[in-house]
């Protein structure tokens, strides 16, 4: 089988993140076993009660080696572009493969499987690890289960294998990735009739903080190493009562101007 054959098989599984990926994991594990890998499964149940699974495969022993990582889930395909074939009916047209996940990232997984198949087991001089995780598109949940619980993952870390993540990068080598830091800031105001001038507008109180956040964003975009420093400076200068809390996207909510000052933003 070549890379296209492997990819076609993978794309035919409708493994969008909200449904179970167990079937595609069974398929991946079978394929790895055919290629003489030992395999490990790391199963879990997601927050919606859906069974999810990760596969870690290893072929060969010894120090070093190569560790390849892919995810088996894909983003939804509710508004598919073509009436001629569905998102999970892999179709080649004009030399390109169409189907959800062909690029991100079942194509890449298909390529590493074909590469592993092309190297005879006896000629392999260092271990090769192949991992397929769940729920990458919705928070890397499968990868964190693997990092926490997988024996083979622990081995590849201890043996100092080189890691490759097969995400699409237009064939450029990308050696670093932006991270994220989520928190919730609350600005508290005080409601009062505007005639008294005793009100505190929570939206206005939030503005210096937002300006700092904009500066942090700008610094982070320009120079990664200064991000932490700028972030801490911004947190230290939040006016009023603000509390970092849970992960979330930046959303500011607050009432408009009226005779009463906005209380919370
Ligand atoms: Zn991806």
Among the candidates 111, 138, 165, a domain finishes at 165
Helix axes 107-118, 22-34, angle to 10 degrees: 20
pLDDT of residue 51: 97
Q: In angstroms, what is the span from residue 33 Cα to ligand 1's centroid?
A: 24
Report which of 176, 258, 189 is spatially closest to residue 224, judged by C-alpha positions. 176
Place of tokens 């500066």: 215
Instruction: Tell me the sheet residues that pair with 45.
Output: 51
Q: Which candidate in 46, 73, 135, 262 is catalytic?
A: 73
Q: Are 106 and 90 in contact (CB under 8 A)?
A: no
Domain count, the chain: 2
31 and 140 in a common domain: yes
Q: In angstroms, what is the span from residue 201 Cα to ligand 1's centroid?
A: 43
- Which H or E run contains 145? helix 141-149
pLDDT of residue 65: 96
pLDDT of residue 256: 38
Q: In angstroms, what is the span from residue 244 Cα to ligand 1's centroid?
A: 29
User: At CA 55, angle to CA 53 and CA 58, rounded to 5?
Assistant: 165
User: pLDDT tens track of the chain, all 265 residues?
Assistant: 999 999 999 999 999 999 999 999 999 999 999 999 999 999 999 999 999 999 999 999 999 999 999 999 999 999 999 999 999 999 999 999 999 999 999 999 999 999 999 998 889 999 999 999 999 999 899 999 999 999 999 999 999 999 999 999 988 888 877 777 888 999 999 999 989 999 999 999 999 999 999 988 887 776 555 555 655 566 555 444 444 333 334 455 544 333 344 455 6
pLDDT of residue 182: 86
Q: Which candidate in 29, 40, 46, 136 is catalytic?
A: 136
pTM of the entire structure? 0.71
Q: In angstroms, what is the span from residue 141 Cα to ligand 1's centroid?
A: 13
Nearby residues of 214 by Cβ (< 8 Å), 6 or more positions away = none
235 and 149 in a common domain: no
Report which of 200, 213, 212 is spatially closest to residue 241, judged by C-alpha positions. 200
Question: Does residue 135 carry a catalytic annotation?
Answer: no
Question: Does residue 221 carry a catalytic annotation?
Answer: no
232 and 104 in a common domain: no
Burial of 94 (0-12, 13-18, 19+ CB in 10 A): exposed
Q: Which domain holds residue 71?
A: 3-165
Q: In angstroms, what is the span from residue 136 Cα to ligand 1's centroid?
A: 7
118 and 76 in a common domain: yes
138 and 35 in a common domain: yes
Name the 3-class secondary structure at 87: coil
pLDDT of residue 228: 57
160 and 187 in a common domain: no
16 and 91 in a common domain: yes
The CATH number of residue 100's host domain is: 3.40.630.10
Instruction: Tell me the sheet residues that pair with 97.
Output: 92
pLDDT of residue 222: 66
Flag whether 10 is in a domain. Answer: yes
10 and 138 in a common domain: yes
Q: In angstroms, what is the span from residue 188 Cα to ligand 1's centroid?
A: 39
pLDDT of residue 150: 97
Q: In angstroms, what is the span from residue 67 Cα to ligand 1's centroid?
A: 17
Strands 38-45 and 51-59: antiparallel
Q: In angstroms, what is the span from residue 212 Cα to ligand 1's centroid?
A: 32
146 and 103 in a common domain: yes
């Amino acid at each position: 089988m070549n890379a296209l054959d492997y990819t076609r098989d993978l794309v035919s599984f409708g493994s969008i993140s909200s449904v179970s990926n167990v079937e595609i994991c069974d398929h991946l594990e079978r394929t790895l076993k055919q290629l003489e890998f030992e395999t490990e499964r790391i199963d879990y149940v997601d927050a919606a009660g859906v069974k999810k699974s990760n596969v870690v495969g290893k072929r060969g022993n010894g120090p070093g080696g190569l560790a390849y990582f892919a995810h088996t889930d894909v983003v939804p395909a509710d508004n598919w572009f073509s009436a001629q074939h569905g998102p999970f009916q892999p179709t080649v047209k004009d030399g390109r493969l169409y189907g959800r996940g062909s690029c991100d990232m079942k194509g890449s997984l298909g390529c590493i499987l074909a590469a592993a198949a092309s190297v005879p087991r006896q000629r392999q001089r260092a271990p090769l690890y192949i991992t397929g995780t769940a729920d990458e598109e919705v928070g890397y949940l499968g990868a964190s289960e693997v990092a926490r619980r997988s024996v083979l993952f622990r081995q590849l870390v201890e043996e100092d294998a080189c890691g490759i993540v097969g995400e699409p990068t237009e064939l450029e080598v990308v050696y670093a990735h932006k991270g994220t830091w989520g928190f919730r800031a609350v600005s508290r105001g005080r409601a009062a009739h505007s005639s008294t001038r005793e009100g505190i507008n929570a939206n206005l109180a939030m503005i210096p903080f937002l300006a700092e956040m904009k500066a942090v964003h700008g610094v982070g975009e320009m120079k990664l190493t200064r991000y932490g420093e700028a972030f801490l400076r911004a947190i230290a200068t939040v006016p009023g009562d603000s509390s970092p809390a849970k992960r979330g996207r930046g959303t500011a909510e607050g009432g408009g101007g009226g005779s009463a000052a906005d209380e919370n933003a």
